[in-house]
Amino acid sequence: MKSGEMHLKRRPVGVPVAEDFALVSVDVPPPGPGEVQVRNLWMAVDPAMRGRMSDAKSYVPPFVLDGPMEGPAIGEVVASEDPGFAPGDLVFSRLGWRELFNAPAGALQHRVRGTLPPQAYLGFAGPTGLTAYVGLLRIAEMKDGDVVFVSAASGGVGSIACQIARIKGHKVIGSAGGARKKQFLLDTLKLDAAIDYKAEPNLTKALAREVKAIGATGIDVNFENVGGDHLQAALALANKRARFAICGMISQYNVTDAPTVPRNLTMIMTKSLRLEGFIVLDHMDLEQQFLADMTAWYEAGLMRQAETVQDGLARSLDAFFGLFSGENLGRSLVKLG
Amino acid sequence: MKSGEMHLKRRPVGVPVAEDFALVSVDVPPPGPGEVQVRNLWMAVDPAMRGRMSDAKSYVPPFVLDGPMEGPAIGEVVASEDPGFAPGDLVFSRLGWRELFNAPAGALQHRVRGTLPPQAYLGFAGPTGLTAYVGLLRIAEMKDGDVVFVSAASGGVGSIACQIARIKGHKVIGSAGGARKKQFLLDTLKLDAAIDYKAEPNLTKALAREVKAIGATGIDVNFENVGGDHLQAALALANKRARFAICGMISQYNVTDAPTVPRNLTMIMTKSLRLEGFIVLDHMDLEQQFLADMTAWYEAGLMRQAETVQDGLARSLDAFFGLFSGENLGRSLVKLG
């Protein structure tokens, strides 16, 4: 059978462009012994993929050139030569950016066809959601009364972090780019305060203003997705012994010259702050508790998936580019099936 | 009785100069009810005092103008109107920068006249030593096999951090300014490797070279006293999940224009690093265990006090200025009694 795959043709310099990629048609043979054939229903794109397009050292290897890229996907088993999988099974894999594929059974994980829609496993009930959950609850050790500041709050991880903090009763300030996203934070996610950073000449002053507006003295937890000016503002407004979960620094990923860096790192010392980076793969022991919590919150109407959907693999680059142009709201998904 | 006091006359801009201070002679009356009269034997100066000379918000209030400055001191009780103290008692206080003073009994703490010399309580057996102890053992959670990088390794805190790490069997790389200090790290503190940062055009390359020379892949613990280029080098050479105890950023204290900042903060994320600032006052629960360890290590000949001593209050500013000019080796003390 035929399948489309999105290949990396060359390593982007700065902001990726369409010419860095190629949509390739391939033949997929029947699955061999121990293999399973899967038709992807949904795939997700996220900013961390930008890192794998470069060949710099990181915690995951770079994408190979002239091969399909990788990323989270949810699909349906079409044929199986492994006793653990049968046609119709819903499976999660890291084999996105392709429509149909064969994979060894070990590369696939079963997912329950229950109350959650399939694409939830790429959002609040998938690694994205677990990233928000781990960052707030384990890395930042969020505790009662903490004021929480989330950057890129309308994004895939950010929108879930905001909801978890709200569900647990915290005051939450979110930052996002543009009036549409700011309204989303206030109206849909019901945050206590929201900042449109594109409309603010000085982000530190804007955060100070919102902290005051909600009757707080500062922030206790920063869920950081952006870096640069956002990190500087969070350091400036941090209360003593605040904890920063450093999840991403999207403002720095496409930077080719001098990065924008916080000018106030001495506050780590003067306010006894803790900044900690993490990757969700180191915290999979929390997955079962996380899935139970998310399912319960979804069924209670407390957790919702914010998503921007493109239709078809040919549109997958639009989904990816939208991460950096700031057009996407919530989790950035591509519907494949 | 007469006493000398060193007063802050005006708030320094950039590097402090002699004209910012004044040596003042005052009369000290007999102690009142509940008061104790103390003659200081030793006082210490440290870089954090620079912060209190400014009126910026910090975890301790700024020094008052036209009054004696404060700092750790060890003294002997001369007269007492409090039942808890008697003439001859050895006492620790935060009332340095003066020769003789009256204080409420609550401002003084007894110290044992035992095997330790009195000035040890301003060094390895005092807050300086506890800072090194807390930073390595609690904040950085130093564990077997960790490679440790200490900046300002020949300084008061750094020289003790190096010794603790060596006593516990770790490989230690130290950085200090100048050939004399580098030799001190190698010959006296017996470190595995030492860097004279003044002789290195690129500190990151220098640290990479020394990491390789000791057969390591990177550093697991950074005891950070300097910031700026040192922090950048430590981030660059950090192993995955390395821990940074952010004790000081002396390179940034006198900066009046744009600070020198690390250009590679994204490594916090890509290598799951943890950076944590701390102040020793939040960790006094470790003091008894610390004193027991330090006394045992001193008696076993494993811990020694590195110190630079000035004689008399009139020379106290030389001790302080020496912190920033880089002349001092080890703990910077002034002998008063």
**Chain B contact for A256 (CB, 8 A cutoff):** no
Interchain pair B249, A265: CB under 8 A: yes
Q: Side chain identity at B151, as an amino acid letter?
A: S
- Of A220-234, B47-61, B106-120, B293-307, where does mean pLDDT reach its minimum? B47-61
Out of 3.40.50.720, 3.40.50.10800, 1.10.287.70, 3.90.950.20, select the CATH number for domain A127-281: 3.40.50.720
Tell which A residues from 12 to 71 touch B, by Cβ distance under 8 Å: 51, 58-59
Nearest to B58 among A59, A262, A270 (CB): A270
Give B170→chain A minimum CA distance, Å: 24
Q: Using pLDDT thresholds of 50, 70 and 90, give the confidence band for residue B255.
A: low
**Chain B contact for A312 (CB, 8 A cutoff):** no
Out of 1.10.260.40, 3.40.120.10, 3.40.50.300, 3.90.180.10, select the CATH number for domain B2-123+305-335: 3.90.180.10
Interchain pair B272, A258: CB under 8 A: no
Question: Assign residue A98 a region: left if phi > 0, alpha if psi is -120 to 50, beta otherwise?
Answer: beta
Has residue B263 got a pLDDT over 90? no
The kind and range of the H/E element at B158 are: helix B156-167
Measured between alpha carbons, how far is B227 from B276 in angstroms, rounded to an integer? 13
Q: Are B46 and B307 in contact (CB under 8 A)?
A: no
How confident is the model at residue A268, as a pLDDT? 96
Q: Which stretches of chain A are DSSP H helices?
A: 48-53, 127-134, 156-167, 179-183, 203-213, 229-237, 266-270, 287-299, 316-325
Interface test with A, best of B217, B244, B269, B284 (most A CBs within 10 A): B269
The residue of chain A nearest to residue B48, with distances taken between CA atoms, is: A270
Interchain pair A274, B275: CB under 8 A: yes
**Chain B contact for A247 (CB, 8 A cutoff):** yes
The fourth-level CATH superfamily of domain A2-122+305-335 is Medium-chain alcohol dehydrogenases, catalytic domain (3.90.180.10)
Instruction: Output helix, strand, coil percentages for chain B, rounded to the nearest 5.
Output: 35, 30, 40
pTM of the model: 0.87
β-partners of residue B87 are none
Q: What's the complex ipTM?
A: 0.85
* Cα–Cα nearest to B246, from A96, A275, A71, A191: A275
How confident is the model at residue A249, as a pLDDT? 84
The kind and range of the H/E element at A40 are: strand A35-45
**Chain A contact for B285 (CB, 8 A cutoff):** no
**Chain A contact for B238 (CB, 8 A cutoff):** no
Has residue B291 got a pLDDT over 60? yes
Interchain pair B277, A259: CB under 8 A: no
How confident is the model at residue B144, as a pLDDT? 97
Q: What are phi and psi of B272, to 5 degrees?
A: 50, 50
How do the pLDDT tens digits run along chain A, 337 residues long?
999 999 999 999 988 999 999 999 999 999 999 999 999 999 999 888 998 999 877 667 899 999 999 999 999 999 999 999 999 999 999 999 999 999 999 999 999 998 999 999 999 999 999 999 999 999 999 999 999 999 999 999 999 999 999 999 999 999 999 999 999 999 999 999 999 999 999 999 999 999 999 999 999 999 999 999 999 999 999 999 999 999 988 777 665 555 677 889 999 999 999 999 999 999 999 999 999 999 999 999 999 999 999 999 999 999 999 988 878 899 999 999 8
The residue of chain B nearest to residue A52, with distances taken between CA atoms, is: B270
Give A116→chain B minimum CA distance, Å: 31
Q: Max Cα separation, chain A?
A: 63
Q: What is the DSSP letter of B121?
A: G
pLDDT tens, B76-130?
999 999 999 999 999 999 999 999 999 999 999 999 998 999 999 999 999 999 9
Nearest to B249 among A269, A277, A282 (CB): A269
Give A-chain residues touching B240 at CB under 8 angstroms: 59
For residues B11 and A259, which has the higher predicted lDDT (pLDDT)? B11
Interchain pair A263, B259: CB under 8 A: yes
DSSP secondary structure string for all residues of A157-178:
HHHHHHHHHHHTT-EEEEEESS
Give A-chain residues touching B247 at CB under 8 angstroms: 269
Give A-chain residues touching B279 at CB under 8 angstroms: 272
List every span in chain A annotated with CATH 3.90.180.10: 2-122+305-335
**Chain B contact for A299 (CB, 8 A cutoff):** no
The residue of chain B nearest to residue A56, with distances taken between CA atoms, is: B270
* A-B C-beta contacts closer than 8 Å: 96
Has residue B256 got a pLDDT over 60? no
Give B-chain residues touching A247 at CB under 8 angstroms: 269
Give B-chain residues touching A227 at CB under 8 angstroms: 265-266
How confident is the model at residue A261, as a pLDDT? 77
pLDDT average, residue stretch B272-284: 96
List every span in chain B annotated with CATH 3.90.180.10: 2-123+305-335
DSSP secondary structure string for all residues of A229-279:
HHHHHHHHHEEEEEEEEE---GGGTT--SSPP--S-THHHHHTT-EEEE--
**Chain A contact for B272 (CB, 8 A cutoff):** yes
* Cα–Cα nearest to B241, from A142, A139, A51, A260: A139
**Chain A contact for B274 (CB, 8 A cutoff):** yes
Nearest to B248 among A263, A269, A282 (CB): A269
Give B254→chain A minimum CA distance, Å: 12
Interchain pair A246, B252: CB under 8 A: no
**Chain A contact for B273 (CB, 8 A cutoff):** yes
Q: Using pLDDT thresholds of 50, 70 and 90, give the confidence band for residue B185.
A: very high
The kind and range of the H/E element at B211 are: helix B203-213
Interface test with B, best of A269, A276, A279 (most B CBs within 10 A): A269
B265-281 burial, b if ≥16 CB within 10 A, otherwise e? bbbbbbbbbbbbbbbbe
Residue B256 tokens read as: 């009046």
How confident is the model at residue A254, as a pLDDT? 60
List every span in chain A annotated with CATH 3.40.50.720: 127-281
β-partners of residue B196 are B176
pLDDT average, residue stretch B174-203: 96
How confident is the model at residue A257, as a pLDDT? 58
Give B335→chain A minimum CA distance, Å: 29
Nearest to B273 among A51, A231, A277 (CB): A277
pLDDT average, residue stretch B137-151: 98
Within 10 Å of residue B172's Cβ, how many Cβ atoms? 28
Has residue B143 got a pLDDT over 90? yes
Give B50→chain A minimum CA distance, Å: 13
Interface test with B, best of A266, A272, A283 (most B CBs within 10 A): A266
